[in-house]
């Protein structure tokens, strides 16, 4: 009955005009460019911290000071880039179990979980 | 206190001090611990007294409790999948604890325990240990395959495996740094602009009029901090769920 006078359509337009529907959009785009930049920065820095930490500890243990430190500095940087890559391409992974799921492992996990779900 | 000798002292708000008088001092019970207990008590009170009526048409507190519950459950089910429901209590506890910690920190005279990396790193390590244990117990030796993607040329293994391991180990670090840095940055900004108000306010006749500007900034910042407090609790919970998804499905 609402379609008769196009009420829904007019309501939608009015809401758009008043900016009432934009809340949804702004929430989706909430991680603005600054926030995304911050997240990427944190990923790189934390990977570097871990890499440098491992390298420094191994060096202290083996007494080979700058070498392993330098190697793990580079590895940490690479891991940071990998983290950022995963940050921007997160949805390539859930496809895996469906198509090439390394077989029984993940299948077992999901089916066992499914069984447990029915118990709930 | 904040303004001593006309300098900006934005970091003293994060200093720990013994709480609860001499008893607290003798066991090193700080105000950080006190606010953790307050947060836990508030969560328990909300859940207990909110859900006690268990009405079909919920009252205010029941609606709040149910909203939080439903929010966290949707988060877990969407990210981990239906079989992830057994992790719901863990994620819900974590989310509520961080959310209440962040929000309590915004009240005057309160202490933000999530602004200490010792706290956030401990929380992140709990998540890290959990996802590792879950992955190993579900998949056993296949867990090691996580560090070497299938189909990659074998001669790349010496490069890929260390990089993947470092990337995996950097999870708790990035998780904790993100929360800690956001809370510290927000509170430092609040304190800096609050100090501006005091400093400018004492600037003769025109001072109070100029001091309105940082006051306006602070009003906006408090609103922004409420958003950040919620958002960071949400981010911590959703990343926990994503890691749990990886641990359960392993690829």
Cα separation, B102 vs B114, in Å, equals 6
Parent domain of B82 = 17-249
Is residue A23 scored above 80 in pLDDT? no
Burial, B18: exposed, middle or buried (Cβ in 10 Å; 0-12, 13-18, 19+)? middle
More confident residue, B44 or B143: B44
Cα dist from B156 to A69, B148, B164, whole Å: 21, 9, 12
Domain presence at residue B11: no
Domain presence at residue B50: yes
Q: Helix crossing, B212-249 with B60-80: angle to 10°?
A: 50
C-alpha dihedral sign at B229, B234, B239, B240? positive
Q: What is the pLDDT of residue B88?
A: 93
Q: Hey, what are B95's tokens? A: 């989310």
Domain presence at residue B5: no
Cα dist from B85 to A114, A120, B13, B38, B197, whole Å: 10, 9, 39, 28, 49
**Per-residue pLDDT band at A31 (split at 50, 70, 90):** low
Task: Classify B18 as helix, strand or coil.
Answer: strand
**Per-residue pLDDT band at B251 (split at 50, 70, 90):** low
- Interface predicted TM-score (ipTM) of this complex, two decimals: 0.80
Stretch A30-54: mean pLDDT, rounded?
86
Q: What is the pLDDT of residue B56?
A: 83
Query: What chain A residue is nearest to B227 in terms of C-alpha separation?
Result: A30
Q: Which residue in B167, B224, B243 has the most chain A C-beta atoms within 10 A of its own C-beta, making it the best mutation to test that interface? A: B167
Q: What is the pLDDT of residue A110?
A: 37
Q: Which residues of B touch A93 (CB under 8 A)?
A: 246, 251
Half-sphere exposure (Cβ direction) of A32: Cα atoms closer than 13 Å: 3
Domain presence at residue B191: yes
Residues of B at the A interface, defined by Cβ within 8 angstroms? 81-86, 138-139, 142, 145, 150, 159, 162-164, 166-167, 169-170, 173-174, 177-178, 181, 231, 242, 245-246, 248-251
Q: Which residues of A touch B231 (CB under 8 A)?
A: 30
Read off the pLDDT of residues B181-231 as tens digits, 9 standing for 90 and up. 999 999 999 999 999 888 888 887 888 888 899 999 999 999 999 999 999
Residues 5-44 of A with CB under 8 A from B: 30, 38-39, 42-43
Whether A51 sits inside 8 A of B166 (CB atoms) is yes
Place of tokens 């303004």: B3
CA distance, residue B40 to nearest chain A CA (Å): 27
Place of tokens 């890691």: B243
Place of tokens 């200093």: B15
**Per-residue pLDDT band at A20 (split at 50, 70, 90):** low
Read off the pLDDT of residues B106-148 as tens digits, 9 standing for 90 and up. 998 889 999 999 999 999 999 999 999 999 999 988 888 888 8
Domain presence at residue B137: yes
Cβ-contact B247, B127 below 8 angstroms: no
The tally of domains found in chain B comes to 1
Mean pLDDT score across all residues of chain B: 89
Stretch B233-245: mean pLDDT, rounded?
92
Q: What is the pLDDT of residue B91?
A: 95
Q: What is the pLDDT of residue A10?
A: 80
Angle at B248 between CA B177 and CA A93, to 5 degrees: 75
Domain presence at residue B72: yes
Domain presence at residue B98: yes
Cα separation, A104 vs B49, in Å, equals 46
Q: What is the pLDDT of residue B69?
A: 92
Domain presence at residue B1: no
Cα separation, B135 vs B221, in Å, equals 41
Model-level pTM? 0.78
Read off the pLDDT of residues A61-120 as tens digits, 9 standing for 90 and up. 998 888 999 999 999 999 999 999 988 886 544 444 443 333 333 333 333 333 333 333
**Per-residue pLDDT band at A24 (split at 50, 70, 90):** very low
């Amino acid at each position: 009955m609402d379609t008769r006078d196009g009420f829904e359509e007019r309501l939608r337009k009015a809401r758009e005009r008043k900016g009432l529907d934009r809340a949804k959009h702004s929430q989706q785009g909430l991680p603005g460019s600054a926030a995304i930049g911050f997240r990427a920065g944190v990923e790189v820095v934390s990977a570097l911290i871990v890499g440098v930490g491992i390298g420094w500890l191994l060096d202290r243990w083996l007494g080979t000071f700058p070498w392993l430190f330098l190697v793990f500095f580079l590895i940490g940087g690479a891991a940071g880039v990998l983290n950022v890559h995963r940050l921007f391409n997160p949805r390539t992974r859930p496809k895996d179990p469906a198509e090439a799921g390394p077989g029984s492992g993940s299948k077992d996990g999901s089916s066992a979980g499914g069984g447990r779900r029915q118990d709930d | 206190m904040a303004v001593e000798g006309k300098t900006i002292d934005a970091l003293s708000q994060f200093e720990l001090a013994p709480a609860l008088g001499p008893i607290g001092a003798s066991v090193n019970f700080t105000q950080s611990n006190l606010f953790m207990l307050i947060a836990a008590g508030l969560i328990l009170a909300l859940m207990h007294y909110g859900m006690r009526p268990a009405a079909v048409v919920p009252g205010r507190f029941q609606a709040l409790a149910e909203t939080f519950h439903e929010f966290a459950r949707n988060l877990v089910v969407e990210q981990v999948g239906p079989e992830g429901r057994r992790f719901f209590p863990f994620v819900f506890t974590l989310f509520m604890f961080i959310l209440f910690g962040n929000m309590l920190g915004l009240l005057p005279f309160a202490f933000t325990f999530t602004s200490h990396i010792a706290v956030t790193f401990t929380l992140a390590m709990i998540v890290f240990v959990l996802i590792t244990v879950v992955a190993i117990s579900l998949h056993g030796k296949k867990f090691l395959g996580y560090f070497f993607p299938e189909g990659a040329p074998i001669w790349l293994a010496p490069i890929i495996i260390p990089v993947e391991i470092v990337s995996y180990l950097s999870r708790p670090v990035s998780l904790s740094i993100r929360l800690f840095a956001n809370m510290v940055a927000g509170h430092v900004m609040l304190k800096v602009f609050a100090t501006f108000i005091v400093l400018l306010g004492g600037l003769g006749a025109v001072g109070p009029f100029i001091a309105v500007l940082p006051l306006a900034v602070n009003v906006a910042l408090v609103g922004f901090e409420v958003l950040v407090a919620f958002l960071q609790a949400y981010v911590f919970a959703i990343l926990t769920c994503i890691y749990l998804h990886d641990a359960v499905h392993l690829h």
